[in-house]
Amino acid sequence: MADFGGDLELEDFRAEARAWLEANFPASLAGKGLAALTDALVDSPEFSAWKKAIGEKGWATPTWPTQYGGGGLPPAQARVLTQEMARIGAFNPLMFGMGITMIGPTILDYGTEAQKQTHIPRIVRGEVRWCVGYSEPNAGSDLASLQTRAVDAGDHWVINGQKTWTSGAQWSDWCGMLVRTDPSARKHDGISFMLVDMHQPGIETRPIALIAGASPFCETFITDAVAPKDALLGQLNVGWTVGKRLLQHERASQTGAMGGGGRTVPLHEVARKYVAVDAHGRIEDQDLRTRLVRHQMDARAHALTLVRAAAEAKEANGATNAASVLKNSATHVAQTRAELTLEIMGAQGLGWAGEDFNREELETVRGWLSGKAMSIYGGSAEVQNNIISKRILGLPDTTHSS
């Protein structure tokens, strides 16, 4: 589909998107957002109906090719769709998985036509859940030291090893896994990327309990698991390249570039419920006012940079180094908002349970705690700073004192 050149055409699409959303998005889900999802909500008829509707429409993956079930929208229309979803508090129900944020885009980049036909339509419709098997107990930031082995057994692969911090593994149907296929090669050169079925006896997942109460992370134990020969994504022993591309997609999803959904209540509106205001309705605490404004400026600058980075990526036919900048920027914006919200709510923002706290207050402390992980997952802030310093600023790998 060709991109639209004028505002009039975009407004026509806005009217179309608004009408479709009003007809298909359940009002009871408005404002929930991904952070508010619970097992009960995900299992509800309203959530299931919304996931089915947006999946069949292709708008959960609005810019993906129509031949695989995507929306086929140009970026300008996709942005309008995101705006209209935010206007009514709608959210993308597939964004909480890794199918559309990481695995799907990587299959579109490197997959054979058969792999695309097999996996992409089911990802678009939300029929399967994916996880990513990267980190290991002795291969975290130094991921290339991974030791999970895939051995060629003739007509299939046999996989043995252990992964950790495997987000959502306990709920997943498939895993995009980095494995070592040539132990004799240099560590970056002997790695391959496999698409592995999680529903087999050789795979065991054990959730890791977190301080926030939820357990999205797992240890994953792989014992003589099998994968067909066509499970290989990309070329044999060139999985490090595929893996890096997936991380670019992951970081893009963590910056807000892909949209998430849910309506974010402005912090000054939250503040008016909990802190003193003057006769003009302004927050009395001048220091708090100043920090709220600074946060709003940071959030706005981040949003504008997202648009610029998307345009640059389109011109470069792929993700650019800006994704590393935006990942840290998104982390800063999100964590600052969480800290300010907790400060504004005071003791009401520290409740863990009980009738003295409403749902928003109970979610605040859990969101604040779970948001600490943003500094680590998808590549730690320090790793991103190294990437920025070397690839963008051109600084040397090491510095030496004179």
User: What positions carry a catalytic annotation?
Assistant: 250
Q: Return the beta strands (E) in 166-244 as ranges.
A: 174-180, 191-197, 203-207, 218-228, 232-233
| Residues 229, 156 contacting (CB under 8 angstroms) | yes
Strand partners, 164: 219
Write b or e for each residue in 148-171: b if 16 or more Cβ atoms lie within 10 A of its Cβ, otherwise e. bebeeeeeebbbbbbbbbbbbbbb
| Dihedral angle, C-alpha 116, 245, 178, 221, nearest 10 ° | -90
Q: Which tokens sit at 37?
A: 């999802």
Amino acid at 355: E
CA 40 to chain centroid, in Å, comes to 22
| Residues 256, 302 contacting (CB under 8 angstroms) | yes
Residue with tokens 């004179």: 402
Neighbouring CB atoms inside 10 A of 402's CB total 2
Strand partners, 261: 91
